[in-house]
Amino acid sequence: MNIQIIGTKKCKETQKAERFFRERRITFHFRDLNEKGITKGELENICKVIPVEELIDTDGKRYKERGMQYMKFNIEEELLSDPLLLKTPIVRNERLVTIGYKPEIWKEWIK
């Protein structure tokens, strides 16, 4: 199992995801979006499972700060240039991907 959690240290949902795997003694790699963004290849791999429209956090603070609700834009380009627009956590297990806190799905992965 190769678990990767992409999020921010301040995000409550990301913290809950980390706790879920830690409690089950499953090692994971954490990527803080404040320190390092997401690459084009990673975004493409995630988009094979989840549509790009579902990745952008339209309810988030960053989206509203930038006034994006009034703009037309390329979602992929915006996510690559400003990774804090992503919904978090993004949890990956090889080719499997979830967005948000999804313990019911993660339990299936660790069976």
Using pLDDT thresholds of 50, 70 and 90, give the confidence band for residue 111.
confident
> What is the rounded CA–CA span in Å between residue 58 and residue 47?
17
Q: Which residues pair with 98 in a beta bridge?
A: 91
Split at pLDDT 50, 70, 90, the class of 98 is very high
- Residues β-bridged to residue 28: 3
* C-alpha torsion sign, points 10, 64, 44, 108: positive
**Domain holding 60: CATH number?**
3.40.30.10
Name the burial class of residue 40, with classes exposed (0-12), middle (13-18) and buried (19+) by CB atoms within 10 angstroms of its CB.
exposed
Domains: count for the chain: 1
Confidence band, pLDDT 50/70/90 cuts, at residue 1: confident
User: Three-state SS for 28?
Assistant: strand
Domain containing 31 equals 3-109
For 10-64, how does the pLDDT look when each residue is reduced to its tens digit (9 = 90+)?
999 999 999 999 999 999 999 999 999 999 999 999 999 999 999 999 999 999 9
Instruction: Output the CA torsion 10→11→15→16 (10° steps).
Output: 150
79, 55 contact by CB (below 8 A): yes
Q: What is the mean pLDDT of the chain?
A: 95
Residue 110 predicted with pLDDT over 90: no
Classify 16 as helix, strand or coil.
helix
